Structure 1
Amino acid sequence: MSRAKRNFLFLQGPSTPFFAKLADRLKTDGHRVFRINFSAGDALHWGLRSARNYRGGLADLRNVLDEKYRKFDITDQVLFGDMRPVHQPALAQGKVCEVRTHVFEEGYFRPHWVTLERDGVNSHSLLPRDPEWFRDVGTTLQAPGNVVPFQSSFQVRAMHDVLYHVAGALNPVLFSGYQTHAPITAPLEYAAYLKRFSMLKLIREREHRRAKDLVASGVPYYVLPLQLNTDVQIRVHSRFADMREVIEHVLESFARSAPGAAKIVIKNHPLDMGLMNFNKIIRDCERQLAIEGRVVYLEDGNLVALVRRSQGVVTVNSTAGMVALEEGRPTLTLSDPIYNLPGLTCQMSLDDFWRRAHNPDAELFARFRRVLMAATQVNGGFYCRSGIGLAAENSSRVLTAERSPLEVLL
């Protein structure tokens, strides 16, 4: 693969020093690096490296980017998340100017992977949606070897995020035109997290015991793993406004069509802020639908163990669906994630799923997983020193290659 010297423009990254470390690696290899900071948090994590601070609004950004591309002969732009407001003009103008766009996102498989694709991720991924293509290509690939594990603590991740948002207090002065992608303000988010995590400390042991008892009981049950209300996967890539709508939709179908002896387990997301009272929402639904005693709500618990013994998993588009497929459990999606393929997920209505669900094709999933690993996943992480070092080292090879890993497979 070619390693011609390239000119990289870095836009917004995760709220950690990852982009700065990746840029350092590219510069060490002889490439030129440019940066636009859109907020004080961006500037903080970029450090003293050279950058342009953009203080304008979104309306002018496309022209500014066009000037930057042409002035510095930009060949590639690097960004985290393809739905952020400041990234939408970059995606559009990049195509016009034939600038390659590299999009990072959380890993499709976790915890030791990050996602790196060209032009888009999740529902915008360039991955084919043909199961036969995965069958064919997957036969030529091996499972990834030499995976380097690392520990990424929540405390370190929280520290990076807090520093980012504390710096953001300067945005009205230094970056007056900045429009955040976050739907909830940082003070409210932190206050909610403190309250919920304090509560979890008190009930974690109880919730894990409840989950274990359910698994051991032999009672047939289905699993609905909740996603974050703030997640772009819900806000943009689904027809639901929030998880309340998802819960109500799924429980209405469960009450109408699920076997009478079955239960449904609704498990909260580990990073939920606790701003929505899911327990009350679920209990209200139970009463209205006359399914009292058939719904188990868990704030915590081992998701893999719950999925492994379940009758099936219903999800909107969470990576928990990948967990279900990996465990060989019937899976139905309420949106259209990359793994929603005939042979993997159940291609039927939710009402039919409760009684007609079928297991995924294990061999197809094995090939699908090998393709995803080769085409989109990079060993590393965004939130701790060792993970960041790994991701920077491994991503640099993908960023500088003439063809992306997916293009090679295609």
Structure 2
Amino acid sequence: MLKMRRRGGYGSKFWQRFGFFRSPEKQRLADGAGRCLWIHAVSVGEVNVARKLIDQLLRLRPDQSIVLSVTTSTGYAVAVDKAPASLTAIYSPVDLIPVVRSVFRRVRPVQFILVEAEVWPNLVHFARRCGVPVRLVNARLSPRSERRYRRLRKLAAPVFGMLDAVMVQEPEDAARWTGIGAPPDRVRVTGSVKYDQSGTGQASPARMEEFREILKTCWSGVLPRVVLAASTHAGEEQALGEIWRRLKGEFPGVKLLIAPRHAERRAEVRAGLEAAGLAVALRSLPLPQGDAPPDVLVVDSTGELRHWQALAQVVIIGKSFLANGGQNPAEAIAAAVPVLTGPHMENFTPLMRLLAEAGGIRQVASLEQAAGALRDMLHHPDQAAAMAARGKAALDRHAGAAARTASLLLDFR
């Protein structure tokens, strides 16, 4: 309890973790009791998967009541952001029998759904005692975790044996789950909800044409090829600008666009690029008539990145060179655009592994290597396009995973 308190972020909802709810929360839970689906996710990554799944569940059954329990405060913030009216987000109960019993009796779900690899013994055990089916979705299991569970098989196998269904991301995951005690007839391969891009929407042809006109206005009526540095962070813009200053003479028909992650940094971004010796235009300002064409267009707007990415010949992923973590490359990959990243893609390790194994993305260890990689990709567009096609094919294997999983969950009842 002290550790949870110190971590902070729970605010007035801290006591939900011990089964205590305020009157409005009690009422919402009572309204869905006896007919709701209870989905349990831990933190931001699992909550994002849960929200994708919830969208599909509500598409198939718009009046379905859903409770989403979350462990971390950051995950809770994602859970409640633009949440549909039929979704009630709560903090997950600590895995102690009296607390679990209290919350289960209040929620009274018709299914208990766990996201990814989080199997909580008391939650699972009490659900089964109450006759509530327990299903694990988007399940994954690394070889290392499999070895650990095999060593603890006598303890782990009975818990996994209580799962009514295990929906896994890959065929290899199916073999691993059955190997640690999940009944083979309850394991199904549905693909990865996390990598499923089928519900993200496509670039609008009308907006694409609008953006082509913007490019032609910037560059004297000529539609250039485009390199887009997407969702960049402080320090990256100037560094990439210096690289582009060296390369731009080699590729006169190619122009650089930079879309900072935070558009309000526009003045700082512009100053950094000008310090690198580049002429800069801002998307948010009209281009002064009669001025020489800029070297760089800064896309200081929001809600447009999908369309700019679809127009690009190469997308460079921001937050991957000077700051740890990276940004999600999936949208650009799904648009079959060649993607180049720096070394710091820690927040997307499984996705990067998937794409790297398919030969569908290019990752470099430094900004200096990025210069060489970008030169190579622009000189050999056919090779870059083939890489992008491999990346898209790797993602397409998971297309429809959220809809498949949702359909199975509703069919089980």
Same fold (TM over 0.5): no
Q: TM-score range by the shorter chain?
A: 0.3 to 0.5
Q: Tell me the TM-score normalised to structure 2 length.
A: 0.43
Q: Tell me the TM-score normalised to structure 1 length.
A: 0.43
Larger Rg: 2
Name which structure has the greater RCO, CA cutoff 8 Å, separation 6+. 1
